[in-house]
Structure 1
Amino acid sequence: MINNVVLVGRMTRDADLRYTPSNVAVATFTLAVNRPFKSQNGEREADFVNVVIWRQPAENLANWAKKGALIGITGRIQTRNYENQQGQRVYVTEVVADNFQMLESRAVREGNAGGSSFGGNSFGSAPAASQSMSEPAMPDFSRNDSPFGATSPMDISDDDLPF
């Protein structure tokens, strides 16, 4: 059996981070995912998908991804049911995310022309960055800043290339 989900969309609100009685982090949020077609009146429609993410990825998502953030998630679809206070059976279908990726920087999301694309760094299982501010700043990997410092990772001249 295969139960695999990959979604790219925008968060409709900040993630709701909570902890279970055994201190396990769980975050819930809604992801707005555009449909690949337009309606009869020419408007783009979206699906609003409920997502749950657990443990360290939940804490990372709550710290880094805010309302409006473009993120990608991978996970699985899960259905569950419970009885509400009125005694009615309620059925829920949601995506349980294994990890997520930020797909743009905060500067790009907020319309700052000086920002650069973040390039999809994954925060699904990475440890959270140390945070001294209320909202951490995203790393800036612009074209002028090499993540390898002042040296190039490969020193190859054009004469060595076969094309």
Structure 2
Amino acid sequence: MYQKWIGIGRLTKDPELRETPDRVPVARFTLAVDRGKDGADFIDVIVWREQAENCVKYLKKGAPAAVEGRLQIRTYEDSQGVRRKAAEIVASRVVFLPNGRKSIEEPPWPDEAPPAFGKKESKGDFDFAEEVNFDDIPF
């Protein structure tokens, strides 16, 4: 069996960072994914470890992001003792997308660009993370 979820949307609020009792970082945020004429879906996303810390550092409310991961359905009891289900995406990859701002004076991320974004590395005959022309992106 194989399961994969991919979605592109905007954060509805700043990501929240917490730690497990074993001090493993975990972040949560909600991604608003457009459905066209039918509105939007609001998808809860969970991100672990270093990627969680980077999401908190570089993503803010309204920021566009692409999320790749798996769907997880969990059950829990609410405060009244009623059994409930929650659907959420456990992210394996989060890609920080450009805001679409045209101004060079205002960068899309605070202080610095996210890791490996827009950098050019040469390894042998290959160039990684070549410069992107944001006008070519269809969204």
Which residue does the alignment assign to 1:22?
Answer: 22
Number of residue pairs matched by the alignment: 121
Which residue identity is paired with 1:93?
A
SS at 1:38 equivalent: helix
Which residue does the alignment assign to 2:112?
Answer: 137
CA RMSD of aligned residues (A): 2.9
TM-score, length basis structure 1: 0.65
Structure 1 unaligned runs (5+)?
40-44, 119-134, 155-163
Which residue identity is paired with 1:72?
A
Which residue does the alignment assign to 1:38?
Answer: 37
1:86, distance to aligned residue in structure 2 (A): 1.2
Structure 2 unaligned runs (5+)?
128-139
TM-score, length basis structure 2: 0.75
1:67, distance to aligned residue in structure 2 (A): 0.9
1:86 aligns with 2:80: yes
Measured in 1, the distance between the counterparts of 2:105 and 2:42 equals: 28
- Structure number with larger C-alpha Rg: 1
1:49, distance to aligned residue in structure 2 (A): 0.5
Which residue identity is paired with 1:38?
K
The structure with more strand, counted as a fraction of residues: 2
Out of 57, 67, 71, the residue aligned to residue 63 of structure 1 is 57
